[in-house]
């Protein structure tokens, strides 16, 4: 899975596995310390065909606190 974009409210990911809208999920970010961001898949679409890739959006349950998340 590849993180394409990250905001305080969600993330955009690309994967070779289909992401089912409505599914609960957890995104794990590693850096100075590990963060677990819980939410749900909002949407998913095919983004490439050879090989098949999917682009999906996750909406977080709680907004990401940027200063805290980036502190190391």
pLDDT at 67 over 90: no
Q: CA–CA distance from 36 to each of 15, 28, 32, 50 (Å)?
A: 19, 5, 13, 31
pLDDT at 72 over 80: no
Q: Where are the domains of the chain?
A: 2-63
**pLDDT confidence of residue 69:** 54
pLDDT tens digits, 20-60: 999 999 999 887 778 889 999 999 999 999 999 999 999 99
């Amino acid at each position: 899975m590849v993180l394409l974009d990250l905001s305080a409210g969600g993330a955009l990911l690309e994967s070779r596995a289909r992401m089912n809208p409505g599914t609960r999920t957890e995104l794990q970010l590693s850096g100075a310390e590990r963060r677990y961001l819980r939410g749900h898949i909002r949407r998913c679409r095919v983004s490439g065909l050879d090989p098949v890739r999917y682009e999906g959006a996750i909406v977080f349950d709680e907004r990401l606190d940027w200063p805290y998340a980036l502190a190391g």
